[in-house]
Amino acid sequence: MATPPQALSGVRVLDLTQIISGPYGTKLLADYGADVIKIERPGIGDLARRMGPFAGDDVHPEKSGLFLHLNTNKRSVTLDLKTATGKKLFFELLEGADAVVESFAPRVMPSLGLDFETLRARNRRLVMTSVSNFGQRGPYRDWKSAEIVTYATGGPMWATGLPEREPMSLGDNVVQYQVGAASAVATSMALYSAEASGQGDHLDVSLFRTQASSQDRRTTMLIGYQYTGERNVRSPVGASTAVGVRPCGDGYVNIMGSSHRFEDVLRMMGQPELVEDPRFSDLVARSQPGASEEFDAYYIPYLMEHTKRDLFQIAQSHRLPSGPLYDSADLLADGHFQERGFWATVDHPVAGVVTQPGRPFIMNETPWQLRNPAPVLGEHNEAVFGEMLGYDRQALVRLKRMGVI
């Protein structure tokens, strides 16, 4: 069967990013068809290669689960951009490229002589996407960041967690993934424009600003602050009656029984008569201090009689937005995701057969495809420098000896 076309077939991206944000963005482009050439430092490569988890806990640059996840469908070449020859090769690649995505500190590309003006002088329709901590200019331009630092500065960390405790960050590196996704949208929009107009663009995507404009509460809270002059604070445990995480027989569930949904919760519990109780009879009563705890005295005993999976199904049958709190084992075992074919399995030459998260969305005409697992370091030097740019075997050996590739 012929392979269906992909949405970004024919787009070539030079990828100078590493670790999480930039690579997640270019992974999205690669998974939907772009030819992403990942340019890595000779001998070292993407620092994510040194970050875990490692397959079989074997600390090996080709066995990093983080790297394997974030670099599917990309081609890897090694290139030292600090050398004149390395730069020459980069400029040769640039001629056939549609986009350059980079995630260096903002001073680095100019110091390498690879600023946007220089690059666009060689390729008018080039889209350059710069992913950085705090943006390409401004007083924090050169500052360092990290997952928690980004969530603290740009995101709503101050209002996340419990009032009597310290503010709480999110899990793992989710904020950096979000920036990666934003960089992919920005890049694809500019590419869409450049393909028609012939004019490229330079995009400034930062962790800080992506968080400050995120629809994860931050923007709503900022508007709320403008409305009232009061800062949004961390909410106490069980702040809303019949809303949020509660314990159940074998773990935890999150059921939203707010406003009009409260009576559905009562029906689910088989105690519809509780709506007559003046403590719970309307939203104003249920919003009084202590109402949530008083309701939990009825609610939690009911929840404890059921498993999280049963409650998921029961709550949904009462049209309640809800979900169990799963760990990875629960998630991988869940029939819904399996039945839909969400999980992807790749056979990697070094790491072996690995199950990874699959497509984020299904495009019926131009599907997500796992054409290749993440590349080993420099795997495509010959294909790219040899076949694409026309360097012969001898030249490649010389380049390697010089440490350029």
Does residue number 219 form part of the binding site for another protein (CB under 8 A)?
yes
C-alpha count within 13 angstroms, C-beta hemisphere, residue 287: 5
Among 91, 143, 298, 302, binds another protein (CB under 8 A): 143
Q: How many residues bind another protein (CB under 8 A)?
A: 160
Angle in degrees, 0-180, between the axes of helices 21-31 and 174-197, rounded to the nearest 10: 50
In this structure, what token pair is assigned to residue 344?
A: 């992807």
Query: Cα-atom radius of gyration of the chain, to the nearest Å?
Result: 25
Closest approach, Cβ 218 to another protein, in A, equals: 7
Closest approach, Cβ 150 to another protein, in A, equals: 7
Question: Interface residues for another protein in 321-380 (CB under 8 A)?
Answer: 321-332, 334-337, 339-340, 342, 351, 354-366
Closest approach, Cβ 272 to another protein, in A, equals: 19
Does residue number 99 form part of the binding site for another protein (CB under 8 A)?
no
Instruction: Please answer whether residues 75 and 36 qualify as being in contact, where contact means their C-beta atoms are separated by less than 8 angstroms.
Output: yes
In this structure, what token pair is assigned to residue 369?
A: 């495809």
Question: Interface residues for another protein in 257-276 (CB under 8 A)?
Answer: 258-261
Does residue number 2 form part of the binding site for another protein (CB under 8 A)?
no
Q: Which stretch binds another protein (CB under 8 A): 74-82, 187-195, 369-377, 380-388?
A: 187-195
Closest approach, Cβ 383 to another protein, in A, equals: 25
**CB of 83 or CB of 240, closer to another protein:** 240
DSSP assignment letter at 259: G
In this structure, what token pair is assigned to residue 81?
A: 């951009």
**355/361 Cα distance (integer angstroms):** 18
Does residue number 116 form part of the binding site for another protein (CB under 8 A)?
yes
Question: Interface residues for another protein in 189-208 (CB under 8 A)?
Answer: 189-193, 195-197, 199-206, 208
Does residue number 319 form part of the binding site for another protein (CB under 8 A)?
yes
Among 44, 59, 223, 383, binds another protein (CB under 8 A): 223
Long-range CB contacts (within 8 A, 24+) of 186-194: 186/129, 187/13, 187/25, 187/29, 187/99, 187/101, 187/127, 187/129, 188/8, 188/29, 190/99, 190/127, 190/129, 191/11, 191/98, 191/99, 191/127, 194/98, 194/125, 194/126, 194/127
Does residue number 171 form part of the binding site for another protein (CB under 8 A)?
yes
In this structure, what token pair is assigned to residue 205?
A: 């995507």
Does residue number 23 form part of the binding site for another protein (CB under 8 A)?
no
